[in-house]
Amino acid sequence: MLAASSTIAADDKPIKVFILAGQSNMEGHAKVETFDYIGDDPATAPLLKMMRGADGKPAVAEGAWISYLTGHYEGNANGEAMGKLTAGL
């Protein structure tokens, strides 16, 4: 337990936590081609720069944790995934 505590204390940087909630918007039904429209509004244009990498492709978030609850209806499973996250998962 002490080893874990000292490791956590050494990483004294803040972490970003994003809670993305929804159904159809979170299931990937949108197309990356619609990203350009975000740049049309001055209020959302800065967001577009964060969403794309230097190569123009959707940015990749490292170390993402995803928990999904698809329910028990007809045997669908709940679960989680960890790793890289980008448009289209």
All structural domains of the chain with their residue ranges: 14-85
Confidence at residue 71, expressed as pLDDT on a 0 to 100 scale? 63
88 φ/ψ sector (left φ>0, alpha ψ -120 to 50, else beta): left
pTM above 0.85, yes or no: no
Question: Which segments of the chain does DSSP mark as H helices, in order?
Answer: 2-10, 35-38, 45-51
Please report, for residues 7, 25, 71, the alpha-carbon distance to residue 13 in angstroms, rounded to integers and kept in the order given. Answer: 12, 31, 36
- Report the mean per-residue pLDDT for the chain: 76
pLDDT in tens, 19-59: 776 665 566 566 888 889 999 999 999 999 888 988 989 99
Angle at 52 between CA 21 and CA 78, to 5 degrees: 30
Confidence at residue 1, expressed as pLDDT on a 0 to 100 scale? 42
Confidence at residue 2, expressed as pLDDT on a 0 to 100 scale? 45
* Residue 74, amino acid: E
